[in-house]
Structure 1
Amino acid sequence: MLGGKKVKKTVSIFTLALCLLVLMSYPVLAKTINVWTGFPELEPFYKWAGAEFSKTHPDIEVKVLSTSLREFEQKLVTSIPTGTGPEVFDVGPYIAIKLIDAGLLPVNPPELDSYLKSGAWSQFAVDYVTIKGKTYGLPLMNGSRAALFCNKDMFKEAGLDPNKPPTTYKELMEAAQKLTTYDKSGNVIRSGLSLRISGGGSGLTEKFRFVLHNAGADLIVPTGDGKWKNGIDNEAGRDALRYYIDALHKYKVDDPQVKHDSDAFVTDTTAMFLRESWVIGEVKSKNPNLNYGVAPMPGWRRHDTLSQPWAIYMSSEGAKSKEVVEFMKFLTSTQAAPQLIELSGWIPERNFDSASLVKETPQYEFFVNPPKEIGFYADPVIPAFDEIQTKIADELMEAFLNKKLVDNPKGIEKTVRKMANMIDSILKRYKAYGK
């Protein structure tokens, strides 16, 4: 009996050793860094970065998930609180501040904080990701710095100088009237100016603010006591809405029935539109022979453009990993900067040598070297702002389709006041309203 036990013990030890040997013969399962984005055009960049990072970190696998921006934001805000979200993600400040206020995003560890303050970013960018003296995430790209895209061939066809694009919103409307083409029934075939008039969400309101801000108004303005109130119930706010109404229904330089935005520009169905640098990448991939130029945002009472640092963040789980911290630094490195531009069209927020970029693609000039006379503004970093933009987008879409607002000052005033009251109501609910 005793000998039998020894045999069984020997067999058990042998079996255990054999199992260990078999397990050791398989590669160690890679650690996974999940990256989420609401910008599908960033997916190739993240995949490139993952492949490059794995060369020096062979045990790391980077997986990328990209969806539409609105779907991504909804998925993110429900997954982060439960710890089921990604280790790394990029998101706008209005979503980030909600997560920060809820204690769901980690403060940058000392290594990332020092890296952020090393001089690689402007003080504006550093300040933008600093909340109550603490830094969160790293600015990846400039999410706006929008400019005017112009089809040069269409300018020539209309008798306009392609090297002298409109510099004011008045000139923009005048040029758009000359650039628009119609069928025999007077329907727009090719818009002279493609405006963002549908799609919903905060993006529509953001594009409306291109006109609103330079007209001299803002959605919300500070009251001096750390609070805010609406900034549109005034002449400038009414002028901005009237500009859209006139473009759509009075001068008919755009129409809801034709293609819009980048789809219209790359398919030669609009002559001009206002958008960010990523459009350059879109043109390269879909219509590389398009003859076009990029000019500064037109001016009005102001001459500014939206400058929006767009950052990458770590989840609380991701921040526990040394590899995730290193990957964050790699994504914002000088090595990655050219690839961000090449693969997505977006401009890195960090400082980098842009000479070769502009030489190869002159359309990038404004985005990397904006004229000194151009000012900048940014989204207010408060939790209420995303809801304000989203709710106002619904009001704007309805207003844009209302032909009765043409040459109707009282109707314009009533519509703007309704939006102003809605803004103040939201601010009050967030306890952010001031007089």
Structure 2
Amino acid sequence: MRRGKGLTALTLAVAGAVTLAACGTGSSGGSGTTAASGGGVGTACASPTTVTFWQQKFEDYQQAWYKKYVDQFNSSQTCVKVDYKVVPADTWTQKLQAAQAAGNQPDVVTTNYGNIKPGVAQGQFAALDDYLPASALADIKSNVAPFVTEKGKHWGYPMLVEPSAVLYINSDMAKAAGLDPASPPKSWKDLVDWSTKLTSGNVKGITIASVAAELGWSSWGLQDNSCGHFPITDDWASGRATDSCFADVVNLYKTLYQNKLMPQNPKVGYTDAAPFESGEVAMMVNGSWALGAIKKDKPDLLAKTVVAALPTKDGGTGETTATLGGWTLTLDAKSKHPKEAAAFISYLAAGDPSIMADFFKQAGYSKYTTRTSVDKAIAANDPSTTQDANMKTISDDIVAHGIAEPAYPWDISLAMGTAIESGMKGTASVDAALKTANDSINSTIQKQQLKGTAPQS
């Protein structure tokens, strides 16, 4: 596909916003005088305005990508500079809360989708609608825009999505078992049948999450597919984990575990592709990032790796079986320099599509775009991506039908994860495990005063 006039107009509009926001005196408390026409940068600056940007630490290539474009932004500006800081994930919450309490909060941070709506309710973010061009907001894909939208405004600019659950199949093993990898399992019954036929000797048919913390988030898509809702009422007034449809979810895991169709004591967690890469399992349920891991760790395996949407309960297609996690850039509501900070967001996430296209290239295309223009840029710059069957499957059959991660507190997800683990491993009956989860959810609702606080957008 060719990059057309609409794409050029988007790039110029965002570049204009960056220029306009970056002009000013650089004094504390605002952007000072600006060029209303979007003219030259930095002609009236006594010194640059400093904008702080904190990024939660991810894979090494991500830090390199962020640094490259922060440096590029800084070199293009006279009146605004970005102070970039990488914070380890295990200290992120502590450091951010400490900075906020001291009034030294960063202007821009990486925020996951699940924290957007709660953050809006707490007054944590500034809306971006007054700072970013309308064309940049319109560029966000229709099924992703609700992740960052509340009360009719955009509270973050989405950078990427990652499906939480994708089915990976070793095609050689499938063929050896008399199965056709070109026609992967469609229903939960099919998944069990395939797992049974693929289990032989030391090789298990499938690997899937098996501990509460991982089950808590990796099963969101299956919970929604089975029930059409999560285990709490829409107004967050009471739990509904005892609905019979959630028992179906637990019983799927229980069947796989107790029939020993999956590893009983896995050495690595859900997000690690090692068991699939080593041939210990014939199928794997993992996030889209696992495709990037295979490309990096064992490229020879790619030719015999087939990906598919995780099966639906009844075998229907075009249904949700995965939530879309990912990251967005947010502007702090207490930022002293919101125009300059938003200019950086415009540049990095909402501007020239080639910038984000480069991110996805560095990710091995194991993460997925949130903008139509970035899809076009990738197709134009790297046509091979349009010919990758696995990427197309993830994009068309999984991402296109994915839903946002639930916005309720993690305690509720962990209660469900604990119920699934207890039920699958037999430490409690399925009904008892779900009742315990429901009691825990109701306790969380009461303690955290959640009733009536659910996002309504």
Please confirm whether the aligned pair reaches a TM-score higher than 0.5, indicating the same fold: yes
Q: CA deviation at 1:317?
A: 5.6
Q: CA deviation at 1:77?
A: 4.0
Relative distance call for 1:271 and 1:32 in structure 2 (3 A) is farther
User: What is aligned with 2:320?
Assistant: 304
Question: 1:18-417, aligned counterparts within 5 Å?
Answer: 31=50, 33-37=52-56, 39-40=58-59, 42-57=62-77, 60=81, 63-68=84-89, 71-108=91-128, 110-112=130-132, 114-117=134-137, 119-144=138-163, 146-182=165-201, 189-198=202-211, 200=213, 203-216=214-227, 218-223=229-234, 226-261=235-270, 262-290=273-301, 291-301=304-314, 303-308=319-324, 310-316=327-333, 318=335, 320=337, 322-332=339-349, 333=351, 334-344=353-363, 345-351=366-372, 352-353=375-376, 355=379, 356=383, 358-359=385-386, 361-370=388-397, 375-381=401-407, 384-402=408-426, 411-417=429-435
Q: CA RMSD in A?
A: 3.1
Relative distance call for 1:199 and 1:283 in structure 2 (3 A) is farther
Letter of the 1:237 counterpart:
F
Letter of the 1:240 counterpart:
V
Letter of the 1:311 counterpart:
T
The 2-side partners of 1:432 and 1:113 are apart by 35
1:105·1:315 contact (CA, 8 Å) conserved in 2? yes
Offset from partner CA, 1:331-383 (integer Å, 9 cap, x none): 223112322212223112111225425335332102322389x74433343xx
1:104·1:316 contact (CA, 8 Å) conserved in 2? yes
The 1-side partners of 2:99 and 2:420 are apart by 31
Relative distance call for 1:379 and 1:349 in structure 2 (3 A) is same
Q: CA deviation at 1:241?
A: 0.8
Partner SS for 2:125: coil
Pick which of 168-177 and 335-344 moved more: 335-344
Relative distance call for 1:98 and 1:212 in structure 2 (3 A) is closer
Structure 2 stretches of 5 or more lacking a match?
1-46, 453-457
TM-score by length of 2: 0.74
Relative distance call for 1:230 and 1:91 in structure 2 (3 A) is same
Partner SS for 2:206: coil
Relative distance call for 1:176 and 1:349 in structure 2 (3 A) is same
The 2-side partners of 1:342 and 1:77 are apart by 33
Partner SS for 1:305: coil
Pick which of 171-180 and 46-55 moved more: 46-55
Q: CA deviation at 1:135?
A: 2.1
Offset from partner CA, 1:199-250 (integer Å, 9 cap, x none): 72xx531212233332335433545xx4443333122111111111221112
TM-score by length of 1: 0.77
2:57·2:63 contact (CA, 8 Å) conserved in 1? no
Relative distance call for 1:199 and 1:395 in structure 2 (3 A) is closer
1:36·1:90 contact (CA, 8 Å) conserved in 2? yes
Relative distance call for 1:317 and 1:103 in structure 2 (3 A) is closer
Q: CA deviation at 1:413?
A: 0.8
Pick which of 425-434 and 132-141 moved more: 425-434
User: What is aligned with 1:408?
Assistant: none
Letter of the 1:111 counterpart:
Y
Relative distance call for 1:62 and 1:339 in structure 2 (3 A) is farther
Offset from partner CA, 1:145-172 (integer Å, 9 cap, x none): 6421222222233332222211111111
User: What is aligned with 2:41?
Assistant: none
Pick which of 164-173 and 191-200 moved more: 191-200
Aligned residues: 386
Relative distance call for 1:328 and 1:191 in structure 2 (3 A) is farther
Offset from partner CA, 1:276-332 (integer Å, 9 cap, x none): 322222222111111312112211146313343642212346561544322212222
Partner SS for 1:367: helix
2:163·2:402 contact (CA, 8 Å) conserved in 1? no
User: What is aligned with 2:438?
Assistant: 420
Pick which of 343-352 and 76-85 moved more: 76-85
Letter of the 1:208 counterpart:
S
Letter of the 1:378 counterpart:
A
Letter of the 1:212 counterpart:
Q
The 1-side partners of 2:411 and 2:98 are apart by 16
Structure 1 stretches of 5 or more lacking a match?
1-27, 183-188, 406-410
Letter of the 2:254 counterpart:
I
Task: Determine which structure has more spread, i.e. the larger CA radius of gyration.
Answer: 1
Relative distance call for 1:228 and 1:40 in structure 2 (3 A) is farther
Relative distance call for 1:30 and 1:111 in structure 2 (3 A) is closer
Q: CA deviation at 1:144?
A: 2.4
The 2-side partners of 1:379 and 1:83 are apart by 30
The 1-side partners of 2:74 and 2:387 are apart by 30
Letter of the 1:415 counterpart:
A
Q: Percent identity?
A: 18
Relative distance call for 1:326 and 1:271 in structure 2 (3 A) is farther
